[in-house]
């Protein structure tokens, strides 16, 4: 019996081939279940379904699962931790009664949005990944457009996403072509970087995506869902300096916008600031850069659904203090930049300090850093970098 059972024992249950397909398909199955739920039980069903999907994604990451004969697999190294982050954001949003959209169709779309983001994150092929990310962006626009009072923001997001996809897809096709070389391959990397950056709201597009419309759940989830798969692909892309440039531009656009934005919108702009820092870490590469990217995206996934008007950060406020997120992610990003592009360390640090609004009424209601926390952050950075170097 031992000889017969030993092959079975050598195959862990978590490595079953069905795990990755189930993790990717579960959010889409949840859409059908939610559509059939009564309005009274929809919120409880959304919490339960999003929680199950999150557990499946975490198990897939723990098992480094793959979907045989498809381009879907858990990303290698620390980037594998990006896979469940869209479902983390969905679960956090489902827990809040205020964050849950009032209409059934919007709640169903947000689950599909999370599923699309997870699938785009797991897709390794650059061309298929660009198409999948474009589909996620279109779904973001649809989820936003069906929300009361946000149709104009949804239309702006649709046009922005379409333009980014039209840039990214030919760029990915050039990179995937076996005969592409020299200038043609460089052009492919440039188009892919600019296109995916536009879809994620990096660079000049950031204020459109992150500041438009009312702060409802789909708009709070939109930057999270689009940025996670995009930064995963950019972290493995060929144009690292271009990614760092997009991240730096985003950091300064968000920093300057925060200074003049209404108090109710600073939370989402702070989310954009963290996405820009994540892009800097993705472009820097290396172990510290990948760890910083994961840390910053985790803070975005946790805080994104909470970055809404009239909602205090509450339990999330301590995350901004050292050594927690996004402090740790910021430090790791600058550590990675010291090796990749040391001239960018100072403008990034100054941009974060400029984009650190003071607390409102003594509480963290609209910003993710107060001036005191910014001073703590920069002082801690000096200590960490001094010991690191």
Give me the pLDDT at residue 360, please: 39
Give me the pLDDT at residue 228, please: 93
- In sequence order, what are the residues at sequence separation of 6 or more whose Cβ sits closer than 8 angstroms to the Cβ of residue 268? 210, 211, 215, 219, 220, 223, 307, 308
- In sequence order, what are the residues at sequence separation of 6 or more whose Cβ sits closer than 8 angstroms to the Cβ of residue 352? 251, 255, 273, 277, 330, 369, 374, 377
| pLDDT, tens only, 42-73 | 888 989 999 999 999 999 999 888 888 888 99
Give me the pLDDT at residue 155, please: 82
Q: What is the largest CA-CA distance in the chain?
A: 73
Give me the pLDDT at residue 363, please: 40
What is d(CA 329, CA 337) in angstroms, rounded to the nearest whole number? 12
Give me the pLDDT at residue 362, please: 39
What is d(CA 86, CA 54) in angstroms, rounded to the nearest whole number? 9
> Average pLDDT of each block of 10 consecutive residues along the chain (389 residues)?
40 64 93 86 89 94 89 90 93 68 72 92 89 88 75 80 89 75 74 90 80 60 87 88 93 86 74 90 91 89 64 46 73 89 89 65 41 52 51
Q: What is the pTM of this model?
A: 0.82
Give me the pLDDT at residue 217, please: 63
What are the phi and psi torsion angles at 212 (to 5°)? -85, 150
Give me the pLDDT at residue 233, please: 92
Domain layout of the chain by residue ranges = 13-388
Give me the pLDDT at residue 53, please: 95
Give me the pLDDT at residue 13, please: 45
Give me the pLDDT at residue 26, please: 95
What is d(CA 365, CA 378) in angstroms, rounded to the nearest whole number? 22
Give me the pLDDT at residue 178, please: 60
Give me the pLDDT at residue 14, please: 47
């Amino acid at each position: 019996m031992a000889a017969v059972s030993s092959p079975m024992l050598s195959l862990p249950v978590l490595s079953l081939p069905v795990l990755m397909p189930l993790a990717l398909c579960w959010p889409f199955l949840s859409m059908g279940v939610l559509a059939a739920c009564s309005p009274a039980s929809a919120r409880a069903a959304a919490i339960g379904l999003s929680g199950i999907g999150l557990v499946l994604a975490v198990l897939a990451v723990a098992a480094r699962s793959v979907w045989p004969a498809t381009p879907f697999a858990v990303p290698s190294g620390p980037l594998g931790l990006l896979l469940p982050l869209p479902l983390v954001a969905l679960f956090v949003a489902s827990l809040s009664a205020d964050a849950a959209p009032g209409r059934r169709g919007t709640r169903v779309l947000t689950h599909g949005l999370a599923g699309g983001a997870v699938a785009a994150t797991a897709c390794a092929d650059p061309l298929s990944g660009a198409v999948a990310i474009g589909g996620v962006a279109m779904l973001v626009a649809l989820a936003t457009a069906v929300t009361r009072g946000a149709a104009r923001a949804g239309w702006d997001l649709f046009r922005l996403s379409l333009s980014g996809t039209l840039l990214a897809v030919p760029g990915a096709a050039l990179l995937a072509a076996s005969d592409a070389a020299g200038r043609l391959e460089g052009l492919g990397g440039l188009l892919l970087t600019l296109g995916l950056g536009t879809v994620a709201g990096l660079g000049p597009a950031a204020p459109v995506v992150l500041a438009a419309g009312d702060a409802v759940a789909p708009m709070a989830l939109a930057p999270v869902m689009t940025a996670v798969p995009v930064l995963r692909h950019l972290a493995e892309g060929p144009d690292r300096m271009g990614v760092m440039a997009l991240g730096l531009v985003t950091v300064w656009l968000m920093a300057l916008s925060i200074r003049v934005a209404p108090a109710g919108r600073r939370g989402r702009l702070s989310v954009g600031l963290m996405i820009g820092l994540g892009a800097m870490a993705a472009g820097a590469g290396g172990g510290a850069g990948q760890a910083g990217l994961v840390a910053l995206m985790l803070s975005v996934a946790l805080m994104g659904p909470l970055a809404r008007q009239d909602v205090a950060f509450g339990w999330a406020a301590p995350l901004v203090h050292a050594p927690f997120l996004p402090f740790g992610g910021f430090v790791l990003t600058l550590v990675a930049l010291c090796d990749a592009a040391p001239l960018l360390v100072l403008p990034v640090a100054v941009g974060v300090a400029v984009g650190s609004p003071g607390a409102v009424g003594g509480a963290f209601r609209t910003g993710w850093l107060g001036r005191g926390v910014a001073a703590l952050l920069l002082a801690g950075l000096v200590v960490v970098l001094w010991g690191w170097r």
